[in-house]
Structure formats: C-alpha cells, structure tokens
Amino acid sequence: EIVLTQSPGTLSLSSGERATLSCRASQSVINSYLAWYQQKPGQAPRLLIYGASNRATGIPDRFSGSGSGTDFTLTISRLEPEDFAVYYCHQYGSSPPYTFGQGTKLEIK
C-alpha cells in the first residue's frame, strides 16, 4: 500500500500570497496518477487536479499541480478568501487501495 504524507499539516497565509502544498509517496506513483482535492467544512471534496498536473473542469488557473515519482506539489498562486480549506492528495496509480494523504489545512493568517 502506498502511503502519502502531506506537509505541512497546517499552513497559515494571507489572501494574495502563494501557497505551496507537498505530497510525498512512500513509493513511486505509477503514471503520475495523483489527484488533489479541496474540502470545505460541511461539504464533499472537490476535484482540483488529476494526473498530477491537469486542472479539472471549472478549476481556476491559480491552481496548479506538478511532480512525478514520489514528490508532488499543489501550488495556489494568489490565495483568494474561498481557497482556505483542507487539501488532500490521492494516488490511484497502483493496484488498490487508492490511498489519500492525511490532508493539509490552509488557514487564514
């Protein structure tokens, strides 16, 4: 089973700043089958990025993903107030189970 470790656990930033979230896998993620999700309180998760770097439908271009192998990054170029939420990475590259990271909480500084 691939274990995903996200860092930092909590990130405190202000609107307009740049956010960089990390996701490290315990072994290489096949085909970079790594997705990122955003979850706000009381809501279901929302798909942001798939295949490590492809934005899902309707996702603003301030969100970008990068990485391959075992190291992946989600970058939010200029934080908007609605971006403060919890972010999860998720791998689906090998045989199940398709694991999630433990999450990074992005909070307002």
Q: Which spans of this chain sit near another protein (rule: CB under 8 A)?
A: 1, 31-35, 37, 39, 44-47, 49-52, 54, 56-57, 88, 90, 92-93, 95-103
Count other C-beta atoms under 10 Å from residue 76's C-beta: 22
List CB contacts of 23: < 8 A, sequence separation 6 or more.
4, 5, 6, 34, 36, 67, 71, 72, 73, 74, 89, 101
Asked whether the beta carbons of 33 and 92 are under 8 A apart, the reply is: yes
Instruction: Pick the closer one to another protein by CB: 1 or 17.
Output: 1
Instruction: Pick the closer one to another protein by CB: 79 or 104.
Output: 104
Instruction: Pick the closer one to another protein by CB: 11 or 90.
Output: 90
Least gap, CB of 41 to another protein (angstroms):
10
Least gap, CB of 96 to another protein (angstroms):
4
